[in-house]
Amino acid sequence: MKAIGYVRVSTQEQTESGLSLDSQRRKIEAFCEAKDWRLTEIVSDPGLSGGNMQRPGLQDVLRKMKKREVDVVVVLKLDRLTRSVKDLCTLLEGFDKAGVAFSSVSDNFDTSTANGRLVLNILGSVNQWERDVISERTRDALAEKKAQHRRSAGEIPFGFTIAHDSDFLLPVDRQLETVGRIAEWRRSGESLNAIARKLNALGVATKKGGRWAAQTIKVIVRNSLYSDFVPGFASEGVR
């Protein structure tokens, strides 16, 4: 198997520990020799934190992995690759999809073996579980926030109606879709007048059934209420 080694040490670690780049290289070389793997090179990231995924050496390893120039990536310890469990899972999933094995000398972790693949699957499941939990919490928090919206003084905003005998605002999906289009056009640099012309050309009516004008668009893009109902909406505030 063609192997590529990866070594890293942060500036602080260089000062406080004996985990030098040379020490990591020697242990990786001995490990590959014992495995009868052909070590093509050892890529290094000296003085860089494991929390940064944009390390030049790491990106070089990933490029070679994607081109299938190697069969296995070898590090001395898992934290040489990254200190983030989330990033580790992402990297290992990438190795697996590319058909490239990953081995950590000190952690006795090797995805070219059955046990290593089992650990990889467990890590992937834990990572997916974490994403699902975060998604559920976000969805529940958003639902609670929406439920608390009440009508304030003045007209009912475009995109909403009110529940019978109450002051709770209820979303009107088709109108909120229009707000989403307005937000998208603003992100692409369209002026208020240009957006009004587009909506009129499309035959989209205002809340009162009239034609759109720049002032009507301005009221919408400055209303922070839409941030809770329209993905990607960012209020422009008062200018």
Backbone angles phi, psi at 50, to 5 degrees: -75, -10
Please say whether the beta carbons of 212 and 203 come within 8 A.
no
> What is the band of 5 on the pLDDT scale with cuts at 50, 70, 90?
very high
User: Is 33 or 152 the better-scoring residue by pLDDT?
Assistant: 33
User: Is 209 or 115 the better-scoring residue by pLDDT?
Assistant: 209
Domain 2-128 has CATH 3.40.50.12780: no
- Write down the pTM of the prediction: 0.51
**Cβ count near 95 (within 10 Å):** 19
- Active-site residue, from 10, 44, 103, 104: 10
| DSSP string covering 41-58 | EEEEEET--TT-S--HHH
Pairing of strands 38-46, 72-75: unpaired
Mean of pLDDT values over 167-185: 90
- Residue 4 to residue 70: CA distance in whole angstroms: 7
Query: Is 10 an annotated catalytic residue?
Result: yes
- Residues carrying CATH 3.40.50.1390, the chain: 2-128
Token pair belonging to 137:
């919490």
User: Is 107 or 40 the better-scoring residue by pLDDT?
Assistant: 40
